[in-house]
Amino acid sequence: MRFRHAPEVWSTFPELTCGVLHATGITPAVDVAPRLARYADTARARLAAGTEGGFPEIQAWRRAFARTGSPPTRYRCAAESLLRRFRRDGALPRLHPLVDLGNALSLGYAVPVAVLDLARIAGDLTVRPALGTETYLTLGGDEEHPDPGELIFADAAGRAHSRRWTHRQSGASAVRAETAEVLVVIEAMHEGGAGTVPRMLGELAGALAEEWGAPARTAVLTPEAPTFAAPVLGTAGDLGVSRGGGAPDGRATGSTRAVRTAPADPARSR
């Protein structure tokens, strides 16, 4: 399985920084509460100084949404939605530990994080404009069709695994209690994203190693090396961020939100 952005995404959004992580050995029997608290404290301190709409990370995504024709106060990136909910409720719901960790990471850095169950994705996954024929499964189980031209995460079977790029994930590939193999996608648009995304990848990979004992492979994608190839199950993984070069072993190659879950049901990311 390979993950990539279509060339027109890179040309339209040259400010994009994308980090990708692949991991196996995921289970729900992990306590990540102390890690969640640290990210929540960071978000709480930032929100005390002003609402999320003033954060440079969120403003950058609003500009990106406006460029795609999606009204940014109607369709918000997943990180903004999480911050709004956290500001209102003072906490986020606890779902699946990896989903909780992805939400907390997104909350602390104000950057969208998508966590997807790789077993439920057919073939390669590409961020590209929708044709309008793809099917999207909502977290509530309803089926929709993205608007033509809308940016989506599309797999080889014509399924959309997100709506409006980082606005909303699909129930089809949401993390479940039985999920074992995941792909995590972190996308930033703000000026400091080139530094933020590798830091987020490193923190998440470290948490996977310490809490799950799960090997993770990561990459920061670029227009010159825009493809991430997930390693075949059973191959050795390694921690750390790669940039460019490499082969289909999980590193970048040159060939190219708000997360939720319910027990035994789709756990929702974004």
For 3-18, write each residue's pLDDT tens digit: 999 999 999 999 999 9
Q: Where are the alpha helices (DSSP H) in the chain?
A: 7-12, 33-49, 56-68, 78-89, 97-109, 193-207
Range from 121-130, 194-203, 244-253 carrying the lowest mean pLDDT: 244-253
3-state SS assignment for residue 175: strand
Is the pLDDT reported for residue 260 higher than 90? no
Is the entire prediction scored with pTM above 0.85?
yes
Q: The tokens 């089809």 sit on which residue?
A: 172
Q: Where are the domains of the chain?
A: 2-130+171-269
**Fold of the 2-130+171-269 domain:** Phenylalanyl-tRNA Synthetase; Chain B, domain 3 (3.50.40)
Closest CA to 22 of 251, 174, 216: 216
Confidence category of residue 243, pLDDT binned at 50, 70, 90: very low
Q: What is the pLDDT of residue 241?
A: 43
The letter for the amino acid at 244 is: G
Distance in angstroms (rounded) separating the CA atoms of residues 176 and 183: 13
